[in-house]
Chains A and B, each alone.
Chain A
Amino acid sequence: MVALFRAATYAVLLAGGGVFADILYKGSRTVFQAEAPFINTTFLFSSPESLHVFEWEGRRREMGDREFRAFREREPGAADVRAESFVYSAGGIWPCIAGTLLLVAGAMSLALAVGVSSAVYLSEYARDGRFIRFVRLAILNLAGVPSIVFGLFGFGMFVIFFGWNVSLIAGWFTLAFMVLPVVITASEEALKAVPQGLRAAALALGATRWQTIRTAVLPYALPGILTSSILGIARVAGETAPIMFTAAYVVRDQLPWEVERAVDFLFQGVMALPYHIYVVSSKIPQNEYTERVQYGTAFVFLLLVALVAAASILLRNRLRARLRW
């Protein structure tokens, strides 16, 4: 029997390890390079372009859009060269990185603001009754809703009804609603974990209910709330379905902040890493050129989520060290 349990555990390890090894191996070939600066800065810090592959003077050439155009103007006789083209296989993924970071920051801020407020209400103010039990049930159910349904909800609500179109802000709200149940449930747990004695002490010193929460409860629940939002961050960064109708552009030449009017920052869509992987991977035919971008993007994506999570964990640990009981 033990052998079976052990085998199951190793199977998980194998699957996980396999996925990571595959992405790390293939992705690192795109992201790193042999010559200085050893990091493929073009891939990380430029916009995606089409890749053109062709034979020229007996040699195989690979060029991005701009390079190819310049080449055809420069070289006599190159104007009618026949090249195979692969979209998004040249250039880089900088707009996707920026877009994903913006989506995560905005959606998490919204979700934390709404979610923590709601958790404060549920754990500190609301009296347990039929209505509150119903609310909890609703939150629980919301957590189980497939992300594509949130995508459709966001599309109907924010994109169409509010008329925000496919935009950064529509993505923020859609993603925020998606992680809200996680944030509420976990924040409530964190609030409940604060010793009752601290509340009693504050009240006995003449604090109002709100003063008690603000000064003797919330600060000590913060590390727990942050812990839970780390899971939320991974989900917000990773989900493709909620943003494909609400926030993600297949391609956008300018970066999110390169806008004429400030409001356009909010009301324009962005590129995003998970959606870019989807777009690139759904191009047919697949070949070595598309593979580079897919794995490179996946690699960067994993790294980014890991970095954001690590930053949150560091922040939490610093808070914890300051507030120990």
Chain B
Amino acid sequence: MRHLADVPRWCDDVPDFAGPARSARRSLLKAAVLGRREEPGYPPAAMGEDGAAAPSVLMYTVTGTILDISPHVLVLWTELGEQRFLLASSAAAWRGGKVAPAALRQGDHAIVRRQHPSVPVIDRIWAQAGRATGTIIEREGPATLLVDEGPGNGRKIVMIASEAAGRIQVRFPRLEPGYLIDVIGLKHDGFLHALIPATSQPPYRAGHPPAPPLASRHVPDPVNGTAVWHEPGEEPADLLGLAYPALDPEETCERGGPARPECAGDGHEIDPHATGPGCVRLPYLSMGSMLRLRNDCAQRSRTVPVTSCGATARLFCDRCVTCGTSSKGRIADLTMAAFVELGGALEDGCFTATMTIGG
């Protein structure tokens, strides 16, 4: 059994996420120079703008560690200290599968969704939810995989639960180095216990995604596709943001700052930047750019800043079938908190989304 400490990490595994202040500042400067959409003289070919600082606070979602839980009350330790929530009669909990809320454990990392903003009544709880999305780079035995999650995310050990092996093997028939994997499960110290396939395995090797459809004149805005979620990693757990698959090549995860000497020669098993734009054509944006994202399944929208690099999402040319069938390709890799805030269910892995650049 390998431990994560044994796994080498690349120099670019240090995340570069934009904080709310940076997003707000760039939005403000952009609005100052291009004007707001409703102003005369706003360039029609330009991206939209968000004007004032977007509300980057979570309204429905709270993240924290479970201090206590009973059939009616949940106590969480959050950034703001101890918080108590009432459980709605319809409250559902997930911990590797649907469980009664009372079955959750003290010390679990939880993410909960309130029924209404600022009302301490919750209807959904996810505990210890984790996900591994990336390229398989090693396989040890029938059920242990080492997965490279791409720039900014490093590597993760995935152990496929015996009870889920059949289900995962059907959707991911090639659990071999060089192929993609995307599984959801229970997060443990140093590894992910995989329980649910989050998509179907693309038939191509990770480095060969198909080319995107060509767009004449301008890239469509809004754009339709799949929104997925990722674990927070080094980001704050309650960050409302997304990893964008098409960051400006001048400002990607690795190239956001001056290259360090020790980085020379390092690289990921598959460098998403070298595999082309992926199968959906997205406009280049930067850290801090604002996007209006709508969950078409839950009919809920939020303005979300780009907070990290989502280049790995380019490798997946899949569709979300949570509600209907989405257009092909991943357009946003949301933080867990943003995914839940937009009405997504973590165990589904995705929702069909409509994204408007600029909000």
Co-complex (A, B) = no
